[in-house]
Structure 1
Amino acid sequence: MKKQLLFFILFLFTFATPAMARSYNIDEVQIRAWIQTNGNVLVNEISHYTFKGKYDYTIRSIHTAGHEGVKNFEAYELTNKSAEPGFVNQDDLQSLTVNRDENTYSADLLSEDEEKSVFYTYELVNAVRSYETYSDLTIPFFGTDEHHDKTLQNVTIDVVFPESIEPSRYYAFMHDRFGVVEEKGAEVVRFTTPESPLYSLTEVRVLFPSSVMTLQEKPAAPMALTEAVEEENALAHSFYEKEEQKQQLETILKVLSTAACLGILTVFLLRFRGGPGDASSLLHHDPLYLYMIDRNGRSDEYAFLAGLYSLIERGMATVETIQSKERFQKDPEAPDETLQFTLNVKLRKAMECDQKLIKMLFKNRKTFIIHDLAGVTKREIKPKKGAHLHKKVRYYQEQQQEWTDCIVQELKNDGFFSSGIPSFLKQLMLLTGYSFILYAYTVDSLGASTSIIYGVIGLLLLLVIWRKPKKRWPAILFYIVSIIAVAMLYDTHTALWLLLFISLNALLYTLTPRFLLSSEAAAIKADTRIFKKSKSTPSGDLEKWMVHSLLLRPKRSAPETHAEPAMAATAPLAYLMLTNQEPVNYIANTWKWSTPPGSSSYSSDGGGGFFGDSGGGSDSGGSDGGGGGAD
C-alpha cells in the first residue's frame, strides 16, 4: 500500500508539472450592458489578461440562462488598455477570428509571457422579461459550471437603462459571494465584486418600471413586484445566515484541529508507556505473544514461525534442520537447507488457537517442513509450472488469518489488547470529517449534485471501512476523496481550515493504534523497543536470541558467530541464519511469484489439506471570463 500511495503521488506530480509550466490570470473585467426597448441587451466586455507561457486563443462562454440566444458576437484585441466599455475608439481595436462551439466562443490571440486586453461585444436576445407592472432583467454573467473555471479579479458590471429612471423606482440585486450594488443612478446602476471565484455565480438582477420597454408585449406578472423584492430580501438574508454559519464552522474547525494535534501528541507519547524497558527479560516471553504485541495484532509472513516457536517454547514441538527436497535444489535462489518441526502433543489436548495452527500446518501428520508452504519457485515462473499452487497459497493465507484472529481474541480475553476506545475514536474521526464536508457544502451553497456525489462516494467508502476494518486502502481512499472534495469549496478560508482539519484527522486516524495495550503489554513493548535498539550480542541462548531477532526485526546485523556444523542440531534457526539461509524470506517470495497472471487475488476451493511432501514438483500448468489554449 505504501508503494501504491507513492506511485499515486508521483502520478499527480507527473501531470501537475506540465500544467504549472504555463498559466494565466484575469486581472480585471469590465462589463457594460445596455437595455434595449425590445427586450434585447447589448453587452460590451473588456477583460485584462496576464499570460505566463504561450497561448493561442482566449475563451468566453456565455451562460444560456436568462435570455433566448446570443447574436453578433465579436472579439477584438484592445490596444488602449485604459479604455472602458462604451468609450472605446475603433482605432484601438484589432479584430480577432472567432470560432463557436455551442455557447463557447474562442478568439485567436497569440500571446506569450505578456499582458493583453480583449474587447468582446455581443447581444442577448429577449433578456428582459416585461410584465404589466414591472420588467425583470436577470443575467448570470459567470455561472457555476465548468466554463467558469478561473477566478476573475475586480469585476465591474454597469447596466444602462433605455431612459432615465429615478433610483427609488427600481430595485437592484447582485447574486455574488462578495458583490455589492455600488451605485444606483438614474441612467446607470453599477455592480462590483473584488473577485468572482471559479465555479461561483456572478449574476445581476434589476426590477424596473415596464413603461420604458416600449417595444415589448407585457403579459400579467407571475408575482407582484413586492413579492419579487421580498424573495430577493429573503435570499440575501439566507446568504448572511450562511456567512455566519461559515464563521461558526471555522471556529469549530479551529478547536477540532487543536484537539487533533493534542490527539496526535497523545498517541506519540503512548509509545513510551511501559517504562524504560529491559532487553534481557525479553527472551523469557512467549515468542508468539511478543510477535503479536510488537505488530499490534497485525500479521505478516512470519506469523506461522512465531506460532511454531511458541509450541517449541511450551514443549509441544521440536525443530531440526533438513536438506531441501529436489524441487528446491533446482532453484538457485532456494536455500539448501530448511527447518522441519515435529509435533509432540495430540491435537485434542491443545488449546483452541493451537489446534487451528496445528491443523493448518501439520495436516494430520507428525512433521511439518517450512518448504511445504512454498508456492511457485523462481525457475517455475516463466514456464508457468506449479499453477495448482496459486489456490494453495491463497488457502493457506486465509487459514493463517483465521488463526491470527483467534490469537488476537485470546490476547483481548487475557486483557493484553483493548479495541473499544480506538475503534470508537476511528469511527468518530471518519464520521466527523464526512459530516463537516457535507455541512460545508451546504453553507457554501455548492450545487446539490456535488453534495450528492461526495455524499454517496463517502458513504460507500465508510461502509467498506466498517465491514472490512483490517483493510487500509478504503480509509486511504476515503481521505483522498475527502481532500479532493474540500478543494471544490468556493470559500477559500473555510476550505483551508477544513483541509487542515481533514489532514490532521487523517494523520490521527493513521497513527491511532488498532488496540490499546495493557500495562503488562506496554512493558513488553518497551522491552521490545530496547531489544531492537540494543547492539550487544547474545551471551546465553543463541537460538532464542535469533528467534526473537527474526520475529521482531531489529535494525542491526547478525552476531559475528561462526556457524559450526554441530550448531545445526542445537540451534537450527541460528545455524540457518548464520549460513545465509533465512527460511521464511524465500517462502514469502514464492507467495509473491504465485499470484495468477492479471489477478491480485483468487478464491479458494475450500478443500482439505494440500501442503504435503515438499519434494513433489508439478509440471502442469478554458473558462467563463477567458482563457487560453496552446497547440
Structure 2
Amino acid sequence: MSKHLTGQRKRGEEKVLQPFSKRNAVLGGPLRKLAAALVLLLLPALLLTGCGEDRSYSVDRVQIAAKLGTDGDLYVEELFTFTFQGAYSRTSRYLDARKEGDVTFFEAYEPPADRTLGQYGYKGLTRLPVEWEASSGTFYVEQPAKDETRSVYYRYRIPGAAVRYADTALLDWSFLADNNTDLHEVSLELTLPGTSEPPNAYLYDRTGGTLTRTANGKLRYENAKLLSQENARMTVYLPAEALAEAPLQHEALGIAERIGKEEAYAGRLADRERRLASIRDVAVLLNYTLVAAIAYQVLHPFLAGLGSRESARERAERMDPVRLVYLYRNGRLRFGDTLAGIFSLERRGLITMRRVPAKERFQADDKAPSELPEFRFAGISSKLGAADLHLVQWLFRQRSEQGGHVLSLDSVSGPTRTERKQKKHAGKYVQRGRRFARQFTTWMQLLEQNPEQAPPLGVHPVLRAGVPALAVLHLGLVLWLFDADGASPKSLLLAAVLLGVLGIAASYLYRKRGVMTAFLIGCFVAAANLIDETAVMPYLYGVLLSLLLLWLLPKLRFSREEAADRRAILAWRRSLAAGGQLDRREADRAADRVGRMTQDAILLGVASPFLRRLKRRHPGLAAAAAERTPLADPAMADALAYVSGSWSGVALGSSGSSSGDSSSDSGSWSSDSGGGGGGGDGGTGAD
C-alpha cells in the first residue's frame, strides 16, 4: 500500500475529605445523566480538534503498466502524481518486501516530459536515491517537494509473482495496498503471456474498482478513488503452459474448487449494494427507535410529576430523613448517613442537641474544631424500632452524672492531625473503624426491614433486559455489515470473536455500564473501518445514540411513589443549594423551619452553600436559627466536616445496602457537597 510523504522535522499537605462538594448541586436526575452522556460522546471530537498538521498531500493519479513473464516474474512500471501542501522530503512505496530477494530491483526516477508510461526507457532519466526498510516492506525515495505537484516514476521486478502448478498457473497480486491516503484516478494494465485459453481473473476491491479485458487481451483495472488502507487485489488463473519457464509445483492446486470459491465471493460482491441497502434501512429504523427511547427517558421524569398537587419542597420537607437520604443515594448509604437516623429521632422529639467544648485531643490540634454538636437521647428505648434501638445502643453512651444517653462526636471521630503523626494511635483507630463498619452493616440490615424508610430497590428490568438486547442487536448488525461489505472471512471471524466476548461480558455484567460502553466503542471502531459509508454512517449514529441511551437508562427500580419522592429530593437539594429560596414573608416566620432545612442540607451535601446564602440574604433569620439549633451555625457544619475527614485513610471496611451496589466509603459523613452549577511507518505515500 502506499504510505505517503513525511515532512522535514529536523506529596503535600494531608488530604481531608470535605463533607460538601459542588457536585450535583444544580443538575440532577436525567438532566445530569444527559449532560454526562453528551460530554462522553463529544469528548473525542473535542480532543481531536486542532490536532491536524498544517501540511497535507494528495495522490491525484496512479498509472501502472505490468507484464507477467513466462518465468512467473512480474515487471512493473508506475507513475504516481502527488500534490503537496507544505514541505515533504520523500515519497514511499509499499511492496510487502520483507526480505532480500522479494524484489529483484526497485528504481525511482523523475519522469521525462516527452514520453508516456511504458516508453520511458533509460535515456535521459534522472535517478532518485532509494532506501529500503525491511521491517515495513517499504521503499523510500528521496525527493524534496513543497507546495507543488510532482510525479515519481517507479519500476521494479517481483520474482516468482506467479506460481505454476500441475493443473494451472496462478498470479495472486495485491498491487496497491497499505495506502496512507486515498489514491485518485487509478488505472492498471496487465499484460499476460499468450495462451490458448482465456484467463480467469477476479478482483478483490470493495471501493468501486472494475476489472475488464481489453481487445488485445490485456487486463485493465480502473478506480476513480481507491480508499486509504484498502487493498486492491487480483487473482488470475492461467493454463499451466503459460508459465513454461517457471518452476513446476508438482501438487495440483485444485482449480475447480478454487474457481468455485472465487465465483462465490464475486457473487457476494455483486450482491453487495442490495444487502447494504437492507442494512441501511434497518439502521435508520433503529435510530428512530433509539431517539424515541431517549426522548422518553429524558421527558418521563418531568411529565410524571405534572399531575402532582404537592410541591417538591412540601413533599421533601415532610419526608423522614432516613428515607430522604436513602432515596437520594439510591440505597447506598455511607457511615456518615447515620446522621439521618439521629435527625429522624430528633424530629420525633426523642433527641435534643446542644453545642459543647470538644475533648482534649481536639483542643490539642489547632486544625480541629474547639466546639462540637452533642446529641442527647431523651426517649424510651423500649418503644424504639429495631433500627433506631440499634443506632442508640451503638452510638450513644450513658452519662451517669448528667442522666440519659449522649452521642459525643469526638467519640466517633477518627484521628486528629496530631494523632496521625504518632504511630502508636494507628492500631486503635483501625480497630475502631472496623467495629463501626460492622455496626453500620447491622444498622443497614435492620433499616431495610422497614420499607417506609428503606424501600427495596432492585435492578430496573429495563436495564436488565435492555443491555443484553442492545448487545445482541449491535453484534448482529456489525457482523451483517462485515459480511455484506465483502470483508474477508478472517476479518469476519476476528470481529465475531472479539465483539462476541465483549458482548457476552456486557450482557452478564449489565449493571456495570462501563463494560457495555467498551463493547459499543468496539462496534464503532469495527464498523468505521468498513467501506460503504451509506450503510455504515447510519449504523455509527446508532452506536452513538445507543451510548446515550445506555447512560440514561435507570439503574434501580422505583415505585411510582418512590420515583416521585426522589424527584422531589433532587429538586429540594437544588433549592437548598440556592439558599432555600425563601421570600420575605416566609423568612419572617421560618426560623423554626431552618433547623430542619439545615438537617436536610447536611444529609444532601449542600449545607455550606445553604448556610452561606441564607446568611447573605436573610442575616436576621440565620442568626435566629443558629440560636435555636446548633446545626444552623456554619461552625457546627465545619465541625461535622472535620469529623468526616478525620476518617480519611483509615480502613473502615465495606458496608452498604443489599438493594443496590454497596458503597465502601463508610468514613464520610457526606462526600457530596453542594454549590452552584453543576521515521516512516511503511506503506505507499509520502513522508
Bin of the TM-score, shorter chain as denominator length:
0.7 to 0.9
1:158 and 2:189 correspond: yes
* Alignment partners' CA distance in 2, 1:171 and 1:426: 48
- Select which of 134, 139, 144 maps to 1:101: 134
- Secondary structure, in 3 states, of the residue corresponding to 1:105? strand
Shift in Å, 1:623: 6.4
* Alignment partners' CA distance in 2, 1:493 and 1:377: 65
Shift in Å, 1:588: 4.7
1:558 and 2:645 correspond: no
Q: What does residue 227 of structure 2 align with?
A: 197
- Secondary structure, in 3 states, of the residue corresponding to 2:543? helix
- Select which of 574, 578, 581 maps to 1:535: 581
Worse-matched range after superposition: 319-328 or 412-421 = 412-421
Cα RMSD (Å): 4.6
- Secondary structure, in 3 states, of the residue corresponding to 1:271? helix
TM-score, scaled relative to structure 2: 0.72
Q: Which letter maps to 1:124? A: I
* Alignment partners' CA distance in 2, 1:379 and 1:114: 72
* Alignment partners' CA distance in 1, 2:225 and 2:153: 19
Shift in Å, 1:213: 2.7
Identity of aligned residues (%): 23
Aligned residue runs from structure 1 range 220-231, under 5 A: 222-223=252-253, 225-231=255-261
Q: Which letter maps to 1:542? A: V
- Select which of 195, 198, 205 maps to 1:176: 205
* Alignment partners' CA distance in 2, 1:51 and 1:505: 41
Q: What does residue 547 of structure 1 align with?
A: 599
Aligned residue runs from structure 1 range 144-293, under 5 A: 147-163=178-194, 169-178=198-207, 179-218=209-248, 222-223=252-253, 225-240=255-270, 244-272=274-302, 273-275=304-306, 277-278=310-311, 279-293=313-327
1:452 and 2:483 correspond: no
* Alignment partners' CA distance in 1, 2:363 and 2:115: 87
Alpha carbons of 1:12 and 1:416: their partners in 2 closer, same or farther (altered >3 Å)?
A: closer
Shift in Å, 1:432: 3.5
- Secondary structure, in 3 states, of the residue corresponding to 1:109? strand
Worse-matched range after superposition: 438-447 or 342-351 = 342-351
* Alignment partners' CA distance in 2, 1:108 and 1:131: 40
Contact 1:79 1:92 (8 Å CA) reproduced = yes
Q: What does residue 344 of structure 2 align with?
A: 310
Equivalent residues, number: 596
Asked which structure has the greater RCO (Cα within 8 Å, sep 6+), the reply is 2
Aligned residue runs from structure 1 range 80-159, under 5 A: 80=113, 85-88=117-120, 91=124, 93-102=126-135, 103-143=137-177, 147-159=178-190
- Secondary structure, in 3 states, of the residue corresponding to 2:637? coil
Shift in Å, 1:186: 2.7
Q: What does residue 43 of structure 1 align with?
A: 76
Contact 2:128 2:141 (8 Å CA) reproduced = no
Give deviations 1:146-179, integer Å, cap 9, x for gaps.
x45544333322211234x68x722221111132
- Select which of 530, 538, 541 maps to 1:497: 538
Q: Which letter maps to 1:238? A: R
Contact 2:66 2:76 (8 Å CA) reproduced = yes
Give deviations 1:38-84, integer Å, cap 9, x for gaps.
1100112223334444433333221369x97212012234475x975
Q: Which letter maps to 2:189? A: D
* Alignment partners' CA distance in 2, 1:160 and 1:192: 15
Q: What does residue 630 of structure 2 align with?
A: 572
* Alignment partners' CA distance in 1, 2:317 and 2:199: 89
Q: What does residue 607 of structure 1 align with?
A: none
* Alignment partners' CA distance in 1, 2:181 and 2:424: 57
* Alignment partners' CA distance in 1, 2:42 and 2:432: 35
* Alignment partners' CA distance in 2, 1:401 and 1:78: 82
* Alignment partners' CA distance in 2, 1:627 and 1:390: 64
Contact 2:109 2:154 (8 Å CA) reproduced = yes
Worse-matched range after superposition: 379-388 or 523-532 = 379-388
Alpha carbons of 1:282 and 1:386: their partners in 2 closer, same or farther (altered >3 Å)?
A: same
Q: What does residue 684 of structure 2 align with?
A: 626
**Unmatched 5+ stretches in structure 1:** 605-609, 612-621
Q: Which letter maps to 2:158? A: L
Worse-matched range after superposition: 288-297 or 341-350 = 341-350
TM-score, scaled relative to structure 1: 0.78
Worse-matched range after superposition: 262-271 or 211-220 = 211-220
Alpha carbons of 1:540 and 1:116: their partners in 2 closer, same or farther (altered >3 Å)?
A: farther
1:511 and 2:552 correspond: yes
Q: Which letter maps to 2:201? A: A
1:61 and 2:84 correspond: no
**Unmatched 5+ stretches in structure 2:** 1-22, 24-32, 400-404, 656-665, 668-679
Alpha carbons of 1:361 and 1:75: their partners in 2 closer, same or farther (altered >3 Å)?
A: farther
Worse-matched range after superposition: 357-366 or 413-422 = 357-366
Shift in Å, 1:426: 3.8
- Select which of 41, 64, 67 maps to 1:31: 64
Contact 1:376 1:385 (8 Å CA) reproduced = no
Contact 2:203 2:232 (8 Å CA) reproduced = yes
